[in-house]
Structure 1
């Protein structure tokens, strides 16, 4: 533990160390092991530190088989050398704020409602905890957030104690510890006692704030998404920028934003419905115009039309003309789409008919004896396909 400087003082930003060895792991990544380090390795839900060693960027830190490996893109220098090391303090302090904030929020849910935290993840943007409850109300979330921020405002000390397994009975732990030796407790007096190997600030006030952002059911648990510390300020700024843009675009004050958006969505829904009705009317007009050709077999090649439009046109025609056959082809230059339909007075099998054509264009499709559709590559022109279909039914 003496070599893990982040446990002696989480605020260490620079230090000197000696390279004990420098190797590549089984995947070919370069790493060094130091005689002591303040770089925190990934673990316990907390991401690793970054920074520099001997002027080289450290992009990953892991503890493997009891040794802490610091990973680089290229080797540094030979083992045995002394090097200067610098922690990326902004990243480290952010992790300290987030991890301590998680302890406080988890303890708040536990104190108020008995909801245990059964999972924790610290992401680059937000944190999540999984609570052992299938339901969470807005009122419960608000009360837990209020208590968490009250504990932060009181600026209670955050204490670190190393204890033995026998000494654990002296503390009202929020959850059982997984380790049986070198047990590290993170304590907020009269509020939270928890085994943890992460880095934390000296007092709750340094967490600044906790804000719950959202939650969702996750199997039999509830996953809470939240932010702490400087992330809360940053997110507030981001959301404020979005609100300002929306107030300018919609020309409404912030307090009326929800009403304005609801009106906008309702208008869009009405416009969409009107547009769909107009499309239906145009398709019906087009279908009647095609039917006026007074031909038993109706054929046409369309440019850049959807298969859905062709299907609607064909159905409109055969529903009104029982003795008709309809063959439509749509092309976009690279692919062909084909619709075959018949009125109920006809005896031809559309599924069988289209099955004669699709292999010629490396296509696939399906349907039944009355209506079939498919598509494939533009290996033939639309006119050539129609000619073949007409030949097959004559």
Structure 2
């Protein structure tokens, strides 16, 4: 592990190293391998470091077959050896805070309620752990959060130790280690003992604080979302900015905001209902007007519409055939490069609307369905709406 500087000291953020190998991978991405590195590769739920090598951006770091590859924005000049690497310290320390915070929170859940952590993800803005339980109460989350922050406040040391498989029996591990050699333990004395290959601060105090944001049930587990350290300030700043904007928009103080929003939502629902009723009334008027016109045209109500929804045309057609049992309804709607059709008949007629619309849809590569009394469908606008309506009239007549 001597080649991995991040295991010697996670606080080292710059270093020099000899170039061992460099080239391109199968996808054409430049990479370089060094005889030692402070760049942490993706692993154990923790994302990789970024930074620069010889002022060239390091975009990704991966370990394969014991070799740490640094993927670069461009190639390092062959004569550049030794090379100088610099870690993006803000990102590294953020990962150290979050990863240590995860250890503390997971240990707190297990210590108080016996909820084991069976999954962990460190994202760009928040973290999640998956708990081996089907339910989590708010009172439980608050109690665990309180213990986790007490451990942080006590500023306990966070120690790392390399042990053999035989030595594992000396420690009360929170979970079984996945590796059988080169085993690295991360220890918070008298609180948490866990096998881990990530980077961590030297004390729990550097985590600063932990805040559980939310949780949700997923099949037979509960996923808990939380943040630690500097991320809490960023989250607070973001949420506070939104809150300030809302207080201006709603013209209400923060404490009254819930009541104001509830009232707005209730008013919005009432207005939506009124609007639906108004639309329904207008559709009835439109249907009666079309029916009066259709009575003088062989009892066929027909029309070509622009950008009307098929749902509206279906409603109008149903109103018409309910009013007059001897009426046919043939509607075509042109919607950009689509044609939509509605064909209906009253119960006194016996022409199959399903067959009529099937014939019409075949010439516009369309799909649809329905019954002998009422059918609908749509397809490509290979002919005009007027041409399609004329074709439907011929089929019915």
TM-score, length-normalised on structure 1? 0.98
Partner of 2:30: 30
Q: Does 1:303 align with 2:306?
A: yes
User: C-alpha root-mean-square deviation of aligned residues, in Å?
Assistant: 1.2
Partner of 1:16: 16
Q: Does 1:149 align with 2:149?
A: yes
Shift of residue 153, structure 1, vs aligned partner: 1.0
3-state SS of the aligned residue for 2:18? strand
Is this contact kept in 2: 1:22–1:79, CA < 8 A?
Answer: no
1:51-70 map, 5 Å: 51-70=51-70
Q: Does 1:321 align with 2:305?
A: no
Q: Does 1:167 align with 2:167?
A: yes
Partner of 1:190: 190
| Between 291-300 and 97-106, the greater mean CA deviation after superposition | 291-300
Shift of residue 389, structure 1, vs aligned partner: 1.8
How far apart in 2 are the matches of 1:74 and 1:278? 64
Q: Return the match for 1:381 from 381, 384, 391.
A: 384
Partner of 1:368: 371
Is this contact kept in 2: 1:19–1:79, CA < 8 A?
Answer: no
Q: Does 1:130 align with 2:130?
A: yes
Provide, for residues 97-149 of structure 1, a one-character-per-residue CA deviation record: whole Å limited to 9, x for no partner: 00000000001101110000011110111111000001001111111111111
Shift of residue 337, structure 1, vs aligned partner: 1.2
Q: Does 1:200 align with 2:200?
A: yes
How far apart in 2 are the matches of 1:77 and 1:165? 43
Partner of 1:40: 40
3-state SS of the aligned residue for 1:361? coil
Provide, for residues 243-286 of structure 1, a one-character-per-residue CA deviation record: whole Å limited to 9, x for no partner: 11111111111122222111111111111111001000100111
Q: Return the match for 2:358 from 341, 352, 355.
A: 355
Shift of residue 25, structure 1, vs aligned partner: 2.4
Partner of 1:102: 102
Partner of 1:254: 254
Q: Does 1:393 align with 2:380?
A: no
How far apart in 2 are the matches of 1:306 and 1:356? 22
Deviating 4+ runs (over 3 angstroms):
none
Is this contact kept in 2: 1:100–1:200, CA < 8 A?
Answer: yes
Provide, for residues 195-227 of structure 1, a one-character-per-residue CA deviation record: whole Å limited to 9, x for no partner: 111000010111111111111112211111111
How far apart in 2 are the matches of 1:155 and 1:135? 31
How far apart in 1 are the matches of 2:337 and 2:26? 47
How far apart in 2 are the matches of 1:313 and 1:322? 14
Is this contact kept in 2: 1:20–1:80, CA < 8 A?
Answer: no
How far apart in 2 are the matches of 1:172 and 1:269? 57
How far apart in 2 are the matches of 1:164 and 1:218? 36
How far apart in 1 are the matches of 2:364 and 2:162? 74
